[in-house]
A and B are shown apart, each in its own frame.
Chain A
Amino acid sequence: DTEVTQTPKHLVMGMTNKKSLKCEQHMGHRAMYWYKQKAKKPPELMFVYSYEKLSINESVPSRFSPECPNSSLLNLHLHALQPEDSALYLCASSQGNTRIRGNNEQFFGPGTRLTVL
């Protein structure tokens, strides 16, 4: 299995809803990432987990809450989002420790298209 899967593909939520995005990989990768991508812009890094521990938080608002229950799963819990949070949310994974320089190729999932009303 050489892919990263994300569910759901599309999500529409209101500003008072609580929802979660899910990401899964079975490549034995120990680093997992959440990115946010607005239309016609490159992805922006949000969070990095390395060996199931949060290693990077790019000053993301607390209405986004990541969780890594095990080495194959990565969740992004959403609460009280704003319309400007509407975007494509991409998950990625790579082999190893992100703090070690090396050739860690990132494999991206298909993304979740989120619309906040």
Chain B
Amino acid sequence: KNEVEQSPQNLTAQEGEFITINCSYSVGISALHWLQQHPGGGIVSLFMLSSGKKKHGRLIATINIQEKHSSLHITASHPRDSAVYICAVRGGATNKLIFGTGTLLAVQP
């Protein structure tokens, strides 16, 4: 079992829909990151969380440390949101980033 699990693996939505991507982890962490990667492109850091909730534009990220769970929400989704969203945690025995396998999101017009 991976130390960082994401669901769903693939997600197709219609433009305007509210989207939720989930991340569960099994190690102790100092921070959790949500990253975005467009096809063939580099990685953009969306959020770094250690507790609570953060909001940036249409994106909201929450984390529940006790339940070892985080969610990334996208409100009023748009085709330009189509990308792979990766959850990564910093911590465990080595304090390195441990990546989830990503969620491929496709938002259709």
Chain A residues near B (Cβ < 8 Å): 6, 40-43, 45, 48, 56, 88, 90, 92, 98-99, 101-111, 113
Contact = CB atoms under 8 A, between A and B. Distances in A.
Interface of A is mostly: loop
Contacts of B99: 42-43
A86 to B, nearest CB: 13
Contacts of B33: 105-106
B97 interface: yes
B27 interface: no
Contact of B45 (A40, A103, A107): A107
Given A42-B102, A106-B33, A101 B44 contact: no
Interface in B52-83: none
A106 B96 CA distance: 11
Nearest to B2: A42
Contacts of B42: 6, 88, 90, 108-111
Contacts of A6: 42
Residue with the greatest number of chain A CB neighbours at <10 A, chosen from B33, B42, B99, B102: B42
